[in-house]
C-alpha cells in the first residue's frame, strides 16, 4: 500500500489545534434568522450578515418560488454562451438604476466580482495601491492580475499618496479600498481617497460588500453615503449579505461593464445564477425602495447594542457600522469568549489569525433589523456575565 501523499495536511491540522486556530463548523438547523438554532441550541444569532432579515423575507421567498416555477432551477450555461436569461438582464438593469450608474454586471458572488474584475482590468505592467485590511477577494484579484501590489497602512491616505508619488506618472494605477471593513466595521476614507485618485490619475475602486443595503439612501452604499457619485470608477457590491440571497456585482460605466462581459473570467467560465436567485435579488431591491424603514430599524438596533457593549466596558474598536468587534486578545481568549457565549445562548463567532492580527482575536457581532430588543438585551446580559468571568470587563 502506498503512503498517503496528503499526510502532511494532517500535521498542518494538528499544528492549528496546538495554536488554538482549529475550528469546527457550527451547523444551522433551520432558517438564517436573528433568533435561531445552531448545533441544536436555541441562540440569539449575532454572526450572520443578514442585516435586513431578507434571507427569509416573504417577498423574496415568493419571487424565488415563482421563478422556479416559470424558469426552472438552473441556468444551464455560462453567461457568454447560453446562460444569460432575461431575468439576469432585468437584475442588471435594476441594479444600474438603483446605483445611479450607466451599467452593472452581476457575478456569482462578491468574491468572484472582486477577483474577476481586478484581474481583468489590470495586467503585469500595472500597479495596485491597496489598504492593508482589504478583503481577501481583492488580494486574490491583484495576484491574478500579476500587477505590482503596494499596500498602505489601514486608512492612511498620506501613506497612499507617498506610494503613488514614487511611481512613474504614466503607469496605470488602481487605488482600492473596502467601503466597510468586514472585521472592524470601520469605513474606508472615501472622500480623501477619491480626491487622491483624481489628483494622481488613479482608477478608483470601492468594495462595498458590507455597505450594500446598509449605508446610503435605500442602502445604495458608501458612495451614496459620502456623496461621491460619479467619482468612483468601479463599485463592487454583494447580493449575499444585506440583500439576503447570493451574488456580487460591479457598477460603473458602459465600457467597464462591456469589457468585463468579454474578459472577467468568472463571467466567462462559471455558470450564471439560478433564476430563483436573480428573482430574489430583484425582490430585495423592491424591498429596499418600498420598505426603507427596515434600514432605520437596523441602525436603531445597532446604536442600542453598541451603547450596551460600551457601557459594559468591552473593547469594541473603531466600528462605525452594524459590525461590532469585541476584541479579546489572543485566539484562545476569543474562542473561550465565543464558546461561553454560545453556552449562554448567544452565537458570536470568534475570528482569529489569519483573518485578523494574532493579538487582535475577537468575537464579531452583527445585529440585524430583525433582532428584537429582548434578543439584544439577552445578548448583552450574556456578554456581561461571560466578560466578567473571563476578566475582559
Ligand atoms: C463578504 C465580502 C466579499 C465577498 O462577498 P460574497 O458575496 O460573500 O462572495 C467581498 N468583499 C468584502 C469586503 C466582503 O466582506
Q: What pLDDT is stored for residue 354 in this prediction?
A: 83
- The Cα 291–Cα 52 span in angstroms is 11
Tens of pLDDT, residue by residue over 307-328, are 999 999 999 999 999 999 999 9
DSSP-assigned beta bridge partners for residue 127? 148, 173
Measure the N-to-C terminal CA separation of the chain; round to a whole number of Å: 56
Catalytic residue among 241, 306, 333, 360: 241
CB–CB of 83/211 below 8 Å? Answer: no
Secondary structure (DSSP) of 174-185: EEEEESB-TTT-
CB atoms within 10 A of CB 3: 6
Mean of pLDDT values over 17-32: 92
Q: What pLDDT is stored for residue 80 in this prediction?
A: 97
CA of 51 to the centre of ligand 1 (A): 14
Mean of pLDDT values over 31-53: 98
Catalytic residue among 145, 182, 212, 331: 182
Tens of pLDDT, residue by residue over 152-211, are 999 999 999 999 999 999 999 999 999 999 999 999 999 999 999 999 999 999 999 999
Tens of pLDDT, residue by residue over 64-103, are 999 999 999 999 999 999 999 999 999 999 999 999 999 9
Angle at 97 between CA 94 and CA 103, to 5 degrees: 90
CA of 209 to the centre of ligand 1 (A): 5
Ligand 1 atom closest to 240 (CA): 7
CA of 301 to the centre of ligand 1 (A): 23
Mutate to test the pocket of ligand 1, among 55, 95, 108, 110 (most ligand atoms within 8 A of CB): 110
Catalytic residue among 150, 154, 173, 210: 210
Q: Does 33 qualify as catalytic in the annotation? A: no
Ligand 1 atom closest to 210 (CA): 15
Q: What pLDDT is stored for residue 22 in this prediction?
A: 87
Q: Does 210 qualify as catalytic in the annotation? A: yes
Q: What pLDDT is stored for residue 9 in this prediction?
A: 97
- Over the chain, what is the mean pLDDT? 97
Q: Does 100 qualify as catalytic in the annotation? A: no
Mean of pLDDT values over 121-130: 98
Tell me the three cell numbers of residue 296. 432605520
Ligand 1 atom closest to 134 (CA): 13
CA of 63 to the centre of ligand 1 (A): 24
Mutate to test the pocket of ligand 1, among 115, 142, 182, 237 (most ligand atoms within 8 A of CB): 182
Q: List all residues whose CB is within 6 A of at least one atom of ligand 1.
A: 109-111, 114, 135, 137, 178, 182, 207, 209-210, 238, 240, 248
Question: Collapsing DSSP states into helix, strand and coil, what is residue 200?
Answer: helix
Mean of pLDDT values over 30-38: 97
Band (pLDDT 50/70/90 cuts) for residue 353 is confident
Q: What pLDDT is stored for residue 23 in this prediction?
A: 85
CA of 388 to the centre of ligand 1 (A): 34
Band (pLDDT 50/70/90 cuts) for residue 377 is very high
Q: What pLDDT is stored for residue 21 in this prediction?
A: 83
Strands 361-366, 173-178: pairing is unpaired
Band (pLDDT 50/70/90 cuts) for residue 127 is very high
Band (pLDDT 50/70/90 cuts) for residue 20 is confident
Distance from the Cα of residue 127 to its chain's centroid: 24
Secondary structure (DSSP) of 245-276: S--EEEEE-HHHHHHHHHH-HHHHHSBPPPHH
Mean of pLDDT values over 369-390: 98
Tell me the three cell numbers of residue 122. 489590470
Tens of pLDDT, residue by residue over 102-112, are 999 999 999 99
DSSP H or E stretch at residue 235? strand 234-238
Nearest CA to ligand 1 atom 14: 209
For a pLDDT cut of 70, what percent of the chain falls above it?
100
Ligand 1 atom closest to 239 (CA): 7
CA of 391 to the centre of ligand 1 (A): 33
Nearest CA to ligand 1 atom 6: 110
CA of 110 to the centre of ligand 1 (A): 5
pTM recorded for the entire structure:
0.96
Helix %, strand %, coil % of the chain (to 5): 45, 15, 40
More confident residue, 281 or 19: 281
Nearest CA to ligand 1 atom 12: 209
Length of the chain: 393
DSSP-assigned beta bridge partners for residue 277? none
Q: Is the pLDDT of residue 386 over 90?
A: yes
User: What domains appear along the chain, each with residue ranges and CATH number?
Assistant: 21-51+292-389 (3.90.1150.10), 58-290 (3.40.640.10)
CA of 79 to the centre of ligand 1 (A): 21
Mutate to test the pocket of ligand 1, among 137, 183, 364 (most ligand atoms within 8 A of CB): 137
Amino acid at each position: 500500500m502506498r503512503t498517503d501523499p496528503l499526510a502532511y495536511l494532517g500535521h498542518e491540522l494538528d499544528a492549528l489545534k496546538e495554536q488554538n486556530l482549529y475550528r469546527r463548523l457550527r451547523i444551522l438547523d433551520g432558517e438564517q434568522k436573528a433568533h435561531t438554532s445552531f448545533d441544536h441550541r436555541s441562540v440569539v444569532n449575532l454572526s450572520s450578515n443578514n442585516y435586513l432579515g431578507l434571507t427569509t423575507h416573504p417577498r423574496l421567498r415568493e419571487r424565488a418560488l415563482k421563478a422556479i416555477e416559470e424558469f426552472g432551477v438552473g441556468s444551464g450555461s455560462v453567461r457568454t454562451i447560453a446562460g444569460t436569461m432575461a431575468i439576469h438582464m432585468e437584475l442588471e438593469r435594476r441594479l444600474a438604476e438603483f446605483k445611479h450608474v450607466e451599467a452593472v454586471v452581476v457575478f456569482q458572488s462578491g468574491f468572484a466580482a472582486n477577483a474577476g474584475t481586478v484581474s481583468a482590468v489590470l495586467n503585469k505592467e500595472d500597479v495596485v495601491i491597496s489598504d492593508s485590511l482589504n478583503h481577501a477577494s481583492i488580494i486574490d484579484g491583484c495576484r491574478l492580475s500579476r500587477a505590482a501590489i503596494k499596500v498602505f497602512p489601514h486608512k492612511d491616505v498620506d501613506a497612499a499618496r507617498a506610494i503613488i508619488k514614487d511611481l512613474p506618472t504614466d503607469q496605470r494605477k488602481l487605488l482600492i479600498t473596502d467601503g466597510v471593513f468586514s472585521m472592524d466595521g470601520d469605513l474606508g476614507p472615501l472622500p480623501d481617497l477619491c480626491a487622491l485618485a483624481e489628483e494622481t490619475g488613479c482608477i478608483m475602486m470601492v468594495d462595498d460588500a458590507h455597505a450594500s443595503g446598509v449605508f446610503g439612501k435605500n442602502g445604495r452604499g458608501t458612495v451614496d453615503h459620502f456623496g461621491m457619485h460619479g467619482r468612483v470608477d468601479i463599485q463592487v457590491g454583494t447580493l449575499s449579505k444585506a440583500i439576503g440571497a447570493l451574488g456580487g456585482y460591479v457598477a460603473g460605466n458602459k465600457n467597464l461593464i462591456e469589457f468585463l462581459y468579454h474578459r472577467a473570467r468568472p463571467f466567462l467560465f462559471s455558470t450564471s445564477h439560478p433564476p430563483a436567485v436573480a428573482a430574489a435579488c430583484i425582490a430585495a431591491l423592491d424591498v429596499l425602495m418600498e420598505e426603507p424603514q427596515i434600514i432605520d430599524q437596523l441602525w436603531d438596533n445597532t446604536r442600542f447594542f453598541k451603547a450596551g457593549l460600551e457601557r459594559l466596558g468591552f473593547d469594541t474598536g473603531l466600528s462605525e457600522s452594524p459590525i461590532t468587534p469585541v476584541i479579546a486578545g489572543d485566539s484562545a481568549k476569543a474562542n473561550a469568549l465565543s464558546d461561553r457565549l454560545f453556552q449562554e445562548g448567544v452565537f458570536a463567532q470568534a475570528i482569529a489569525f489569519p483573518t485578523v492580527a494574532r493579538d487582535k482575536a475577537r468575537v464579531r457581532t452583527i445585529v440585524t433589523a430583525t433582532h428584537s430588543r429582548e434578543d439584544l438585551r439577552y445578548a448583552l446580559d450574556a456578554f456581561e456575565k461571560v466578560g466578567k468571568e473571563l476578566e475582559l470587563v
